[in-house]
């Protein structure tokens, strides 16, 4: 299976590469349009800030490439937020695969620290991405912005309020958490993504 990891100006991309390797697969980290388009699976990962990453994608014409992909795509963290319509982070227009806006966490009490950093549970999971899970499992998050629950929500997490910790629409999947850092649960989610039925 050919797995392309989109290379752009976001951090943490090497962690995803390492995680895919631990599953015995050999990914390619690339910004080469043809390699991305011809891969069986595309991972759009990263940790970073919406405005500068979006500007980079546009400058390298990766914005059009990503939204037109037909194979299963997995956005992770900032990758998920960039797949949405707009982000409150520096008032940034994003890719618009998911027609929903990314909002900033507003703390309601002292314990509500922003960014959310650490392990939280994914609940109300409904997707093949979460095949094999029988209880709310814990996964690892680091983020200051969130996607509200919407018609594409396939998992919710409660931090300050319930929000979308994963999304799915057509061939696009996305997780707010980092499966590559979420232990065995994260490995299972990545494996489930690679096992998604491909309708190209």
Partner 1 sequence: MLAKRIIPCLDIKDGQTVKGTNFVNLRQAGDPIELGKLYSDQGADELVYLDITASHEGRKTFTELVKRIAQEINIPFTVGGGINELSDVDRLLNAGADKVSINSAALRRPELIDEIAKNFGSQVCVVAIDAKCEDDRMHENGDPLIDGDWVCYVNGGRVPTQYRLFDWAKEVNERGAGEILFTSMNHDGVKRGFADVALRKLADSLTIPVIASGGAGAKEHFRDTFLNGHSDAALAASVFHFGEIPIPELKQYLKGEGVNVRL
Residues involved in catalysis: 77, 178, 180
- Per-position x/- string for 171-190, each x denoting binding to partner 1 as judged by CB under 8 A, each - no binding: ---------xxxxx-xx---
Give the contacts of 161 (CB within 8 A, at least 6 positions apart).
none
Of 84-92, 93-101, 110-118, 145-153, the segment contacting partner 1 by CB under 8 A is 110-118
Looking at 34-42, 52-60, 112-120, 169-177, which segment touches partner 1 (CB under 8 A)?
A: 112-120
Token look-up 């509500």 returns: 112
Contacts of 122 (CB under 8 A, 6+ apart): 130, 136, 137, 138, 139, 155, 156, 157, 165, 166, 177
Closer Cβ to partner 1, 110 or 197, answer by number: 110
Distance CA 156, CA 20 (A): 25
Residue placing its CB nearer to partner 1 in the complex, 168 or 178: 178
- Of 162, 138, 158, the C-alpha closest to 150 is 162
Positions touching partner 1 (CB under 8 A) are 11-12, 14-15, 18-19, 21-22, 47-49, 110, 113, 115-121, 138, 140, 142, 158-159, 180-184, 186-187
């Amino acid at each position: 299976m050919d797995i392309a990891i989109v290379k752009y100006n976001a951090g943490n991309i090497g962690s995803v590469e390492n995680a895919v390797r631990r599953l015995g697969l050999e990914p390619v980290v690339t910004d080469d349009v043809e390699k991305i388009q011809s891969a069986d699976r595309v991972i759009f990962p990263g940790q970073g800030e919406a405005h500068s990453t979006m500007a980079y994608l546009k400058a390298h014409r990766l914005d059009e490439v990503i939204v037109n992909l037909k194979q299963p795509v997995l956005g992770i963290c900032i990758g998920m937020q960039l797949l949405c319509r707009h982000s409150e982070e520096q008032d940034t227009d994003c890719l618009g695969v998911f027609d929903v806006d990314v909002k900033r966490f507003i703390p309601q009490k002292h314990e509500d620290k922003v960014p959310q950093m650490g392990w939280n549970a994914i609940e109300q999971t409904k997707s093949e991405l979460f095949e094999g899970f029988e209880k709310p499992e814990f996964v690892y998050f680091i983020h200051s912005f969130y996607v509200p629950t919407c018609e594409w929500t396939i998992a919710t997490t409660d931090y300050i309020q319930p929000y979308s910790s994963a999304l799915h629409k057509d061939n696009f999947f996305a997780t707010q958490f980092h499966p590559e850092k979420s232990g065995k649960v994260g490995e299972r989610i990545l494996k489930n993504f690679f096992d998604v039925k491909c309708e190209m």
